[in-house]
C-alpha cells in the first residue's frame, strides 16, 4: 500500500509541476493579445504569426493543465450525489468513474489522435495562414500530453480510492483528500 501511495504522490507532484508551470501561459496570452491589438490599432500593423500565437498558447495551456485541474477537483461533478456521501462511498464513486469513464476517454483520445499527431510531426506542420506561426505540430502534440496527464491523474485517483476503501486513508496526503473535508476545517 505504501508503494501505491508513493506512486500517487509522484503523479500528483508531476501534475502540480506541469499545472503550476503552464498556468503562467495565461499571462503571456493576455500580453500577446494586448500587443496584437495595440499593433493593429495604434500602429496599423498586423503580424499573422502573433495572431496565431495567442490561441495556440491557449490550447497548450488548457491541454497541459487538465491533469492539474483533475488533481485539484476543479472538474464538474454531480454534487447532489457526491457531496453528502461518506468518504468510502466517494471512493467507490471515484473508482468506478475512473475505470468506466476517465480511462476509456483518455484511451480513445490517445488512440484516435496518435496518427493525427504523428502525421503532423512528420510533416513539421505549420499554420495554414501565410506568414503564420511555424510549429503547429508542437501544438497538436499537446493532445497526447493531455491524454497522458489525465490518464496518470486517473491512476492517482484510483489509488486514492483503493487506499480509502482498504482503510488506509492515512496514506492519502491531506491536500488530496476529498474537498468537503478541507472546507469543514
Q: Does residue 147 contact residue 163 with C-beta atoms inside 8 Å?
A: no
Q: What does DSSP assign to residue 140?
A: H
Q: Which domain holds residue 99?
A: 2-184
What pTM did the predictor assign? 0.84
Is the pLDDT at 119 greater than 80? The verdict is yes
Is the pLDDT at 184 greater than 50? The verdict is no
Say how many Å lie between the first and final Cα of the chain, rounded. Answer: 27
Handedness of CA 127, 107, 145, 33 (dihedral sign): positive
Percentage of the residues of the chain whose pLDDT score is greater than 70: 96
**Alpha carbon distance 134, 13 (integer Å):** 32
Q: Which residue has the higher pLDDT, 40 or 104?
A: 104
- Three-class SS of residue 87? helix
Q: How confident is the model at residue 84 (pLDDT cuts 50, 70, 90)?
A: confident
Contacts of 132 (CB under 8 A, 6+ apart): 48, 49, 51, 52, 126
Report the domain count for the chain.
Answer: 1
Other Cβ atoms closer than 10 A to 61: 19
**Alpha carbon distance 17, 63 (integer Å):** 14
Model pLDDT for residues 3-17, shown as the tens digit of each residue: 988 999 999 999 999
- The whole-number pLDDT of residue 183 equals 45
- Three-class SS of residue 75? coil
Amino acid at each position: 500500500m505504501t508503494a501505491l501511495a508513493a506512486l500517487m504522490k509522484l503523479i500528483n507532484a508531476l501534475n502540480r509541476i506541469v499545472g503550476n508551470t503552464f498556468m503562467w501561459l495565461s499571462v503571456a496570452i493576455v500580453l500577446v493579445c494586448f500587443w496584437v491589438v495595440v499593433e493593429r490599432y495604434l500602429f496599423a500593423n498586423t503580424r499573422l504569426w502573433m495572431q496565431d500565437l495567442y490561441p495556440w498558447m491557449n490550447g497548450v495551456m488548457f491541454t497541459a493543465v487538465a491533469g492539474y485541474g483533475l488533481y485539484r477537483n476543479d472538474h464538474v461533478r454531480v454534487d447532489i450525489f457526491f457531496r453528502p456521501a461518506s468518504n468510502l462511498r466517494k471512493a467507490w464513486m471515484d473508482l468506478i468513474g475512473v475505470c468506466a469513464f476517465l480511462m476509456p476517454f483518455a484511451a480513445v483520445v490517445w488512440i484516435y489522435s496518435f496518427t493525427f499527431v504523428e502525421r503532423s510531426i512528420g510533416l513539421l506542420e505549420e499554420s495554414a495562414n501565410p506568414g503564420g506561426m511555424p510549429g503547429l505540430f508542437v501544438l497538436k502534440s499537446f493532445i497526447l500530453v493531455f491524454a497522458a496527464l489525465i490518464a496518470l491523474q486517473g491512476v492517482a485517483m484510483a489509488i486514492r480510492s483503493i487506499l480509502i476503501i482498504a482503510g488506509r486513508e492515512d496514506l492519502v496526503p491531506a491536500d488530496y483528500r476529498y474537498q468537503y473535508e478541507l472546507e469543514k476545517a
